[in-house]
Structure 1
């Protein structure tokens, strides 16, 4: 039986839209002064800008889902679709990777004990399930819709092999940028792996006291993503095994670099827009934690720059070949 690809893409896109509703509803309640799921209304007041930004991010996810099924989505400039989807892939893909080991840790080790501070009233367990359950569904659905959209819009690229990438005059620059990204990513991976394994040097005392299994898992995933992004990029720019399909390393570098950029950027922004808590963290750590996050973002931007140049040159060569074939 042949699967109707258009129907699958539409179903996935509308599922992604539906998966944003619980999260957007919760955030709207918090923004309008209804601290549902938490006993600390003051915390919601302090985090109003963070909540507003996350509402905007989910609204972008809705726009992307619609672009994958509406006719105007095929006509939209490639960068206008690819860049926000790159970030969304990084953010949602990281959650999809991190959730299984975290849930497994709960199954094997049991729930984590609280901080012991009776005044520390965070969101209830049902909020975690609603938010991250929604992100998981949204991630699977949005990534499925995008994969089918990309297969239709960029089919030529997805069929190429590594050796088909052009050996252009900029290739040496691409290789230099990739190596610089590799050095930054190595530092990020080392720091994140150290924190994931229980190290606390370089973390503010307030964050050390709040450390939990989920944070350790996210640090571990960030370390893996840093290594994967640069390893896949080096395979592409140095044309390792040129006969291999381009698709696999391209997917790895797309997802892993998006993770570095999305989570590194979000953590920097969240630190920057929060209030009292952020001030305490900044004073406790003379720049180490923000430095690691900034290195994530810079490494990801370098990967993005190399990828953008390479794919632009590939597209130009393909168009030139098409013109020659018609003459």
Structure 2
């Protein structure tokens, strides 16, 4: 009989809480996908949003599989990439909501009614008042639960990595390439940060006229959070790549880069996909000038470069550990 530790029990509760938190959202999406306009104005709106609803249904279904992988035996046998990549994206998406949602609510309280953040699923004005609280309440619980369960899963599966220090990373022949890619990613991310910070502060240059005329404070909060994530990801990546503070624990910059780069990739990708699939914004999409999609694409490319640098460094570290273990055994 396998004994369970307090950490195992916390991980189990958090994982099953994450699964339960997806039920309202998945149920709502399933109703919309099958043509039942629960909480929306009409079935015509659902037709225009069908592809986007299918994508978001699939994303939340993947979150269920992730949560189960943290507590089921097959989760330890699953290839690392199949767990790490979707969790990287999920951390970025849900972690950003955990930061931006309370800030948006605060802005709404300060600015008065009618200024809050909107739903990503369609025009808020056509939705019942309960839809946004149900959706974002579920996301909040899901985010807290997954971000609680995953570190406990990672501590069990990759304990050596989390205990290591920055100086333990090998100085491999690819280090120059890693540093070059990291600098390119950092420059892209800082450009994204500058644009997002400008829009968050109320700037309208480069925005479509519809957005410039009605600047949503909730959107401004998201722009501000994205700017902070871009700067944080850059700094957190450069620290281990340039071996700054070799005696410091690797897990701190790793956690920051993981979350911030995941935010850049997740939200940048979602915004690009949303503009390509939601037919209700066709006219707006035609009106969007170059800077908006360029900024969105820039943050996705920056995040992918950060992912490549991190993957190279961690794979080489694992290979060095295996080599050292073989040599010591021999």
TM-score by shorter chain over 0.5: yes
Aligned-partner Cα distance in 1 for 2:244–2:307: 19
2:326 aligned residue (306, 323, 327): 323
Distance 1:42 1:94 in 2: 31
- Judge conservation of contact 1:260–1:296 (CA < 8 Å) in 2: yes
Mean alpha-carbon deviation: is it higher for 279-288 or for 20-29? 279-288
SS at match of 1:156: helix
Q: Confirm whether residue 256 of structure 1 aligns to residue 256 of structure 2.
A: no
Task: For residue 228 of structure 2, give the secondary structure of its aligned residue in structure 1.
Answer: helix
Which shifted more, 196-205 or 162-171?
Answer: 196-205
1:203 CA drift (Å): 1.2
Q: Please give the per-residue CA displacement for 1:103-137, whole angstroms capped at 9, x wherever unaligned.
A: 222333332259xxxx9833233111101110000
1:300 pairs with 2:291: no
Q: Does 1:134 align with 2:143?
A: no
- Provide the rounded CA distance (Å) in 2 between the counterparts of 1:121 and 1:27: 18
Alignment of 1:69-148 (within 5 A): 69-112=71-114, 121-148=125-152
Number of aligned residue pairs: 321
What is the alpha-carbon root mean square deviation over aligned residues?
1.7
Structure 1 CA distance, aligned partners of 2:32 and 2:220? 27
- Residues 206 and 280, structure 1, Cα contact 8 Å, conserved in 2: no
**Please, which runs of 5 or more residues in structure 1 have no aligned partner?**
none
Q: Which runs of 5+ in 2 are unaligned?
A: 117-122
Contact 2:70 2:150 in 1 (8 A): yes
Q: How far apart, in 2, do the equivalents of 1:221 and 1:203 lie?
A: 18
What's 1:149 paired with? 153
Describe the SS at the equivalent of 2:81.
helix
The answer to whether the Cα contact below 8 Å between 2:108 and 2:115 also exists between their aligned partners in 1 is no
| 1:168 to 1:101, Cα distance in 2 relative to 1, 3 A | same
TM-score (norm 2): 0.94
C-alpha distance after superposition, 1:129-166 (max 9, x if no partner): 10111000000001111110000000000001111111
> What is the match of residue 31 of structure 1?
33
Asked if the contact 1:112–1:212 (Cα under 8 Å) also holds between the matched residues in 2, the reply is no
Shift of 1:44: 2.0
Paired residues of 2:237 and 2:253 also in contact (CA < 8 A): yes
* Superposition deviation, residue 256 in structure 1: 0.2
Q: Is the 8 A contact 1:40 1:121 kept in 2?
A: no
Distance 2:303 2:127 in 1: 32
User: Where do residues 151-230 of structure 1 align in structure 2 (5 Å cutoff)?
Assistant: 151-230=155-234
Q: Name which of 246, 251, 261 aligns with 1:242.
A: 246
Hey, what does 2:293 align to over in structure 1? 290
Pairwise CA distance, 1:209: 4.2
State the TM-score, normalized to the length of structure 1: 0.94
Q: Output the CA distance in 2 between the equivalents of 1:121 and 1:171.
A: 52
